[in-house]
Amino acid sequence: MKKEATKNKMATIKDTAANYTPKTVKNITELKTVSVGLDIKNIIEKDMEGKEYSYNYIEVNGEKYRVPAMVLSNLKAILQVKPSLMNFAVTKQGEGKNTKYQVIPLD
């Protein structure tokens, strides 16, 4: 007895394009609170010109959030004064190379 394959309706290019969401990495500033206990990872990717670059990120609820080096530097300074810190938030001002980040202790 042969089983027939059920035919699934194929999506058109138009439908796929209309529903397409590019893969992006969010920024740590999009989180209301961040735990110092989260694992940080590093990834190497290529830009549109094929040049490699790396960045640090954390994962929260299956989403990647980029952690700029300036945030790590600021957090290091705070942890030297308050090693018991458990949670913090990050704000940003500016865009591109003029972006400034501020780490705010929450405990």
What's the pLDDT tens digit per position in 83-105?
Answer: 999 999 999 999 988 999 999 99
* DSSP-derived secondary structure letter, 38: S
Does the structure show a pLDDT above 90 at 78?
yes
**DSSP element (H, E) containing 75:** helix 69-81
Does the structure show a pLDDT above 70 at 68?
yes
What the block records as the tokens of 55 is 């960045």
Q: What is the dihedral of CA 106, 76, 56, 102, to 10 degrees?
A: 50
> SS3 of 56, please?
strand
Q: What is the chain's alpha carbon radius of gyration, rounded to the nearest angstrom? A: 20
Per residue in 13-27, pLDDT tens? Answer: 888 888 887 777 899
